[in-house]
Copies of this chain bind each other. A is one copy, B any other.
């Protein structure tokens, strides 16, 4: 099945500058796909720190287990990513396959094994032909260069309909720092064909503890606030590497004012990448922002938002361009979080449709109907308890989703 480029895709891939200390190389290794690149090697200069956020799935893949273990070192020298085969649910074969890949990469790049990270995305349950990857590492090392970010984003795609990248420049105590990121995923979904991966690099100097801290909190506001169909992959992986080449001072306090601009820029880049994943959601025709206020805590607000975002009834209503606030109320109710039914309000496209637990009599339906016909849908819910707030993002549920996941037989 030939997938059409998502109607929600950005107009083009961004111009991505080099990041001092980061080199990239891609190759068509034929792991599964023919006639396209399917392996990415990222190499990092000595002194690069790393932090990461991994799937919470209890049936996680062998590469995820390896990343979890190696993150303890806090040092990154290489990331090896393949598309086409997730190396998930492959038992002891999968673990051995990861070990061989790590060993070969460490040997080739002359670095410690626990500074090598691997990620795989594609079919579940098929043994990974790792020799296709390890035998290519020599050539890939030779080809390493620093201006190949778009190629890198393309090599990690599976059912993605467009390559996903984001870049941003900011400053830490007067030193210019750059953040580049790539991502793949048609949502946290389709684990036998797709999964969510993102690799972000910066030339900022950040301690291992700080880089972990930054990616954990940043992921909460970006990748952990999106959903396509509520299914969690066995392989979701987000890694942030900091080469330190920008030469800024190291800060140990995440609240240091000198870091504020950098954190804001990083979170913006992460959110941009996360949004691109939603915009490539299988069958997506509309991008939906759901802002929840008035919850008991920010975490509670996020859970309410995700309950709305994961509701098939809300998602089909948006697909049908129906401002169906009753389904939004239903989803709030099933979230398990506190909500005051008699204070609840719902707005769509900025127009309040329900307030104080009742439909607003005579609200202006015309702007709402017009809003629902657009590609960017906004839903705002106040649950009337306290000050907790969060925004989550999702896409609608259309015939396209069913076509991709039911009609198509791999």
Whether A110 sits at the interface, judged by CB under 8 Å, is: no
Give the shortest distance, in Å, between A358 (CB) and chain B (any CB): 4
Give the shortest distance, in Å, between A128 (CB) and chain B (any CB): 13
User: Per-residue CB proximity of A29-67 to B under 8 Å, as 1/0?
Assistant: 000000000000000000000000001111110000000
Count chain B CB atoms within 10 A of each CB in A57, A310, A327, A409 and give the residue with the most.
Answer: A57
Report A313-372 residues with CB < 8 Å from chain B CB. 313, 316-317, 319-322, 324-327, 329-339, 341-342, 344, 354, 356-359
Can you name the residue of chain B whose Cβ is closest to the Cβ of A342? B91
Whether A273 sits at the interface, judged by CB under 8 Å, is: no
Q: Cβ of B234 and Cβ of A354 under 8 Å apart?
A: no
Whether A264 sits at the interface, judged by CB under 8 Å, is: no
A191 and B330 in contact (CB under 8 A), knowing A59-B344, A341-B58, A406-B319? yes
Can you list 30 A-B contacts with CB-CB less than 8 angstroms, sorted by A residue number? A58-B332, A58-B335, A58-B337, A58-B338, A59-B339, A59-B341, A59-B344, A60-B333, A60-B341, A88-B329, A89-B358, A91-B358, A92-B342, A93-B358, A192-B326, A229-B312, A230-B310, A230-B311, A230-B312, A231-B331, A231-B334, A232-B330, A233-B330, A317-B405, A319-B402, A320-B406, A322-B406, A322-B410, A398-B402, A399-B399
Give the shortest distance, in Å, between A81 (CB) and chain B (any CB): 20
Partner of A125, one of B317, B325, B402: B325
Q: Cβ of B89 and Cβ of A341 under 8 Å apart?
A: yes
Count of this chain's copies in the oligomeric assembly: 2
Whether A171 sits at the interface, judged by CB under 8 Å, is: no
Give the shortest distance, in Å, between A202 (CB) and chain B (any CB): 31
Give the shortest distance, in Å, between A246 (CB) and chain B (any CB): 38
By a CB distance below 8 angstroms, the chain B residues around A338 are 58
A321 and B406 alpha carbons, distance in the complex (Å): 8
A126 and B354 alpha carbons, distance in the complex (Å): 12
Can you name the residue of chain B whose Cβ is closest to the Cβ of A318? B406
Whether A6 sits at the interface, judged by CB under 8 Å, is: no
By a CB distance below 8 angstroms, the chain B residues around A330 are 57, 59, 124, 191-192, 231-234
By a CB distance below 8 angstroms, the chain B residues around A356 are 91
Partner of A316, one of B55, B325, B402: B402
By a CB distance below 8 angstroms, the chain B residues around A92 are 342
User: Per-residue CB proximity of A77-108 to B under 8 Å, as 1/0?
Assistant: 00000000000111111000000000000000
By a CB distance below 8 angstroms, the chain B residues around A390 are none
By a CB distance below 8 angstroms, the chain B residues around A88 are 326, 329
